[in-house]
Amino acid sequence: MSVDTARAAVSPPRGTAARRVSSSLSAKPRTRLGLLLAAPLAWLVLVYVVALAALLVSALWTVDSFTGEINRSLTFDNLKEITTESLYRTVTIRTIGVAALVTVVDVVIALPIAFYMAKLASRRMQRILVIAVLTPLWASYLVKAFAWRSVLSDGGIFQWAASRIGLDTPGYGLTAVVITQAYIWLPYVILPIFAGLERVPNSLLDASGDLGASTWQTMRTIVFPMLTPAIIAGSIFSFSLTLGDYITVNIVGGANQMLGNLVYTNVGAANNLPLAAAIALIPIVIMIGYLTAVRRTGALENL
Amino acid sequence: MILSASVRRLLAALTGLILLLMYLPLAVVVLNSFNTSKSLTWPPPGLTFDWWERAFHSAGARDAITTSVEVALASTAIALLLGTLLSMALQRHDFFGKSSVNLLVILPIALPGIVTGIALNNAFRGILSLQLSIMTVIIAHATFCIVTVFNNVQARLRRMGGNFEEASADLGAGIWTTFRLVTFPQLRSALLAGGLLAFALSFDEIIVTTFTAGAGVKTLPIWILDNLFRPNQAPIVNVVAVVLILLSVVPIWLAQKISGETEALR
């Protein structure tokens, strides 16, 4: 059989337009890549990148305090204001503090339950636990925040229970915000850590034990290093989600303000979009710094 | 690793305690939906079905649920399409700027919702002079939902490898046929899992929604926020929440079934 007839036997019968497109595409990986990328990239760039860039620019605009009109000449006034005024520094530090605390609380709670789920529970128990951890995710965010408002209220169940051991409810304030946010984002932290632990082979742990390492040594030298990307992946969720939150603060935070509240009031009541945009740059800078810092750990592939 | 019995017991006890704490607030919500008192004091003075009856006749709640389902379905559909295309491009090809594209997909969910919200609000109203509507909500939701589909499909493609697709091409199938008969069937459960997550994410989103919804658009979270602080409506919100928690069994059961299937495939 000649080479030509052999090729004719495997190449698709030519004719229909779809066939022709198909065979020319399979010969041209670059075109194929271009077609795959075109729509999603166009969407992300047109909708998101342009919007972010525009936000950056509008942070340099100002609002005429008299007429409320936006003045589109570029100045650094807003940026100067948010970097020098003590209000913004206080609120930024408070927001980072709350987000960091929420993240630490979540990781500390997630580690034992994820470890039990991944390494100790039976197959059946593991499934039940995964469902049990996932279910609260489907309850509305607002309802969960409101549930904590009810739990922590004066005369609520927390006070009722705490009074028996001589304690009191923390009431509405930053403690309540940390508790509520840690509660709401907990499943987002448990799941990546659980997935990360599942990827740590049991044989490695057995080997470590056989070679005489104590439980703590095995944890410190084997489990934690392998788990770091997963922990960071979980922390991205809890940290970022807390960083921008303003609704939980309104529901259980008392009079406290976080960065989100400042942005929200400036977009709405104060009608100062440029200043709101400038304040929004603070969490953007923090998150981009955080993401670039953790990029090399491989955490982003664990999201 | 040898864990002593006491450490095992400790971990089991901690797990139980954490689960208890996770369900306590939900239990309070369930109880409050039967609470005769509208205040939040504990213990409730009496129980009633009144709120449940009122909730089933609440047109506001019903409309809000419909709106939310519409938004979630539309944005999930867009996310499924764009997320799949993107993951195929990134997993099957190498190109300059690949890691930047990767970061770009994650960004809408990694940046705080308020940033995405205000950026899109500014872009829709300020740059494009669009009227905020249900469409702007869908566009916004689809943007941050892409990542859930992308992650699921990407992980599946990585595990699949390219052998079957190459074999299919060698046997003379065109790229459509290969996608329809080889790639898609293997992706199906990953698409369902990613789609479910996208749906859930959109259904519950409040911050971006506040900034991108037109005046008449009331998704369920917006309706809840409107009614949470009204004494006569708050218990109805509790009822809606309980119904949602009960309904969530369906997607969770589906997700579990899918992961069971993929385990069987492995």
Residue of A nearest to B254 (CA): A131
Q: From the first residue on, what is the mean pLDDT of each consecutive set of 10 residues in chain A (303 residues)?
A: 46 63 76 88 92 90 78 84 90 95 96 93 89 82 88 86 85 93 93 90 88 86 90 90 91 90 84 88 90 79 65
The pLDDT value given to residue A9: 46
Q: Output the pLDDT for position A303.
A: 62
Residue to test with chain A: of B115, B175, B207, most A Cβ within 10 A: B115
Instruction: Tell me the domains of chain B and their CATH numbers.
Output: 65-218 (1.10.3720.10)
Mutate to test the interface with B, among A50, A142, A217, A271 (most CBs of B within 10 A): A142
Strands A62-63 and A70-71: antiparallel
Q: How high is the pLDDT of residue A6?
A: 47
Q: Which CATH number fits domain A77-302: 2.30.40.10, 2.60.40.420, 1.10.3720.10, 3.40.920.10?
A: 1.10.3720.10
Residue B221's pLDDT is what? 92
Q: Phi, psi (5° rounding) for residue A63?
A: -115, 130
Report ipTM for this prediction. 0.83
Residues of A in contact with B119 (CB under 8 A): 48, 51-52, 54-55, 280
- Give the angle subtended at the CA of B100 by the CAs of B96 and B104, to the nearest 5°: 140
> Cis link prior to B25 (omega < 30° from 0)?
no
Looking up tokens 């954490």 gives: B18
Please give, rounded to a whole number of angstroms, the shortest distance from the CA of B11 to a CA of chain A: 6
Could you say which of B15, B23, B85 has the minimum Cβ distance to residue A40?
B85
How far, in Å, CA of A142 to CA of A144, rounded? 5
User: Domain-by-domain residue ranges, chain A?
Assistant: 3-58, 77-302
Q: Is the pLDDT of residue B62 over 60?
A: yes
CB contact under 8 Å between A22 and B237, yes or no, is no
Distance CA A285, CA A281 (A): 6
* Spatial distance between the Cα atoms of B119 and A263, rounded to a whole number of angstroms: 11
Question: What is the predicted pLDDT for the residue at B119?
Answer: 92
pLDDT score, position B261? 57
Q: What is the pLDDT of residues A206-229, one digit of tens each?
A: 888 889 888 888 888 889 999 999
Instruction: Dump pLDDT digits (tens) for B129-181.
Output: 888 899 999 999 999 999 999 988 998 888 888 888 888 888 888 888 888 88
Phi, psi (deg, nearest 5) at residue A71: -95, 115
Mean pLDDT of B90-117: 87
Residue window 115-174, chain A: list those with CB within 8 Å of chain B. Answer: 115-117, 120, 127, 129-144, 146-151, 153, 155-157, 159-160
Residue from the list A25, A151, A186 with its beta carbon closest to the beta carbon of B28 = A151
